[in-house]
Homo-oligomer: A and B are copies of this chain.
Amino acid sequence: MSDRFSLYAKIPEPALRRLPWYLSYIKLLKKHGQTNVSSTQIAKKINVSATQIAKDLSYVDVSGKTRVGYDIDQLIEVLEDFLGFKKTHKAVLFGVGSLGAALLSDSGLEQYGLKILAGFDVNETIVNTTVHGIPVYHSDEFVEINKQIQASIGILTVPPDFAQEVADYMGIGGLRGVWNFTPFRIRVPEGMVLQNTSLYAHLAVMFNRLNTKYPTK
């Protein structure tokens, strides 16, 4: 029973992944002047059943009213809070290559609660420069620098060959979460959180589906 009172403990990942869709849609409704929304209205737009939406939202500390639905302002606030977008999570990034530099330049991440404080690389032409105002240090300096900046999340954009080694090193420096953008399947110790985002795997899926629908051979 006690788990029912823990806000973060129990939401399944598929539900968690759907919440940003709802947030994004109700923010649009708010912009159009709407003040209340029902799960049925969200369902029509989002292509998820109203029952599923109500269930997903039951993990969040908010309740709708019969015939009125959810208060939009309240729902936005509660969702942003629940999703962690309103807190600042300090991060560092390893591998300031093409994708790494691109992510350093994406200020959108900060709006969603991820603040990248430093980049690390071994390439001497990049070390001691800044990208989009973010300083880039030599990877060897990471443990020392992280004692000061106390980041908890490490973004991994190194070449795949070094992915595991750098992930291990992140743990040594005190990081608790790894956001892995490499196509390499890294392993992390029990206490660490791993999130894989392989753009190339997504590309492969898209290419495959396109080839199925529009064969070119």
Which A residues are closer than 8 A to B by beta carbons?
8-9, 11, 13, 16-17, 19-21, 23-25, 27-28, 31, 45-48, 83-85, 87, 89, 97-99, 101-103, 105-109, 112-114, 152-153, 160-161, 176-177, 179, 182-185, 187, 191, 193, 195, 197-215
Contacts and interface: CB of A to CB of B under 8 A. Distances in A.
A186 to B, nearest CB: 10
Given A8-B215, A20-B200, A31-B161, A208 B99 contact: no
A177 B20 contact: no
Nearest to A217: B7
A178 to B, nearest CB: 9
Contact of A105 (B46, B105, B184): B105
Contact of A184 (B25, B97, B114, B187): B25
A94 to B, nearest CB: 15
A208 B89 contact: no
10 contacts: A25-B184, A98-B107, A98-B108, A99-B106, A109-B203, A153-B210, A176-B214, A193-B206, A193-B209, A195-B209
B160 A207 contact: no
B200 A206 contact: no
B46 A185 contact: yes
Contacts of A161: 28, 31
Given A11-B208, A28-B161, A208-B11, A185 B21 contact: yes
Contacts of A105: 98, 101-102, 105
A47 B200 CA distance: 20
